[in-house]
Structure 1
């Protein structure tokens, strides 16, 4: 695999740091790799040999590119990824998917093969110069694309089924651990010759964490504890130390302007203030569970005609986290302002063709998501576990964790400072997050 410095670059943008791909695999190399790995697991070798398929690029994110291949009446996805946290990100994601597939009924892809740069891997696996995972393609449309096709009844069904699956993961004994970090398999195991191979709980352990606050920009170089963490306090302390180290480097640099140094000084001061209050916010008797913290509409696959849940995607950077972090609404149900009353078309201006204007549909979406969030919570409550109790009692620590996450954000720092002023003065507590 190529060194990280040859394939990626961190570039300061207008509003945030951006990740730049310095190289991309050719479609021919991707096609050859996918064909060879699919050949290894095909149940019909003759059919596979006679089928000529080519990989197709279908999109990607900040550090992933996705390729599709249809072959042997099946569809396969190759996700090529930049080594933002070399070896650990890919290895952990593969272990996480395998654990979930082995011990829960969550609809997740089957991992066929992967390459994370490990020395014991076949040299040909590193031919792309990047890390990758080959997996089966799940059926369905992502919820973002299917939304307009579904009536409110089908949307409710999706949300309730999602709640059932996430609750299953929350209560899965094999997904509960004694520390915070990421899941790994201690010894390298492959299932390229088996379909649906399963592994016992002893095959999984928690190791160093893989998450964006710990590797974004140049943070992999910073000397902080990366886990596993024995408590929320340790985890939050390391995150604040990352901010402090980063700000100190800016303040000591001769190549940044005075405005950047002024911001860095403010962020550093806020991170130090927050550090003093960690023990006040962290609850006692924590449990640690595997938690998908990026359940957005783009990562949910559905059958829009029935409202069935067909897939939950994007398990990279999924960590074992405290139960107070796990017991919360999925991101897509909190991405808008709450709206408790359904908007009336008659209250909005009409377009020339007589249809309601865009604001109406924006408010309608807010109302739908607010209502669906209530359905999600009621469904969780129906399971009679401690999930809903933890959700209701964890507002303060979720506020604090949000403050840690955003303490180096120009857009949020003033708001966090005012909130922390109230905390430090011992006044009546006010929520930092209005809806969570």
Structure 2
């Protein structure tokens, strides 16, 4: 009994207290690292805007993740190694040579449970709150360890450069858009986000990456007015048209001289019909170009985001798309851009109010050839590539390398494509089903 008394002296309790304190510090470092790296910067910004100083500090120190992680890892390793050394000395003093193995086992369990799993679980569960609370202490640690961390960073970058790796601490691993898109896809897969909501938000985010040529109405489908036509035929064409704005050309469809609005035409016709002159004489003197508005041309490479801003700035809904040589390629409207966000917009005047995708009798999808691949993917949750072609018909022609004939069948990208209808070397209808 007398031999055990010196073992449980003041040094024993001081060492034990030091080990426990170091375990607490280790848990603080581990939890802080997890909280600061897992916390959403958007949520931290929201907390900071409400006056949370800790959240603002967390935002500041996470600007340089390399410095943050270096400082936290340095502190964490210091306290873990020191705690293990003290525990080894303590257990060796109490149990002799067998104390080394016992100290390793006990410290492994204590560090695993109380310095790793427990604090990190809490940090993941309450990432933003934990990051806000830990930020002031971690900020102090970063300042204390800054010289050492800077030297380590310089050394690490030198080693990485030897292997051809360029480390850029200012670059973000994921762009903001990719983070949002990933969160939306994850939320949809877990049933938290509806497909329609996901598609609308992703559609809005994609506007800056897509050009007007991808969604414009091709020139072959544009309805135009010939300025040389008689007033009666022009009026009849406007009344029979499903569109309120029609381009006007003279002699050559590429020679667009203006755009007429149905309301302007009806006002002019009403004025002629109610004038004192004879109606027939008034109609003979009518010139559609007098009502035409200045045509608005845009390059085919303009992004949808820029074009929508231009529409809103100019209070216009209609633009003609030209290529680099000034040749008319198609037209685009504000509605076309909005449809990329909210989906197809139809009204009572649309000739094809039904969805361009229908289920055929043989359980295949009957698709309009002019439908864009993006719209098809959105409607079916498929992943057909749209890098080489904008429309479904264009994708088939690109992959087949020929102009297909009716009833020809192709298989690529995991889908079966059957050509149903062709008109003027254009594929107008296809049947598609996953293989």
Q: TM-score range, shorter-chain basis?
A: under 0.3
Decide which structure has greater helix share.
2
Structure showing greater radius of gyration is 2
Larger relative CO (CA 8 A, sep 6+): 1 or 2? 1
Q: TM-score by structure 2 length? A: 0.20
Q: TM-score by structure 1 length? A: 0.20
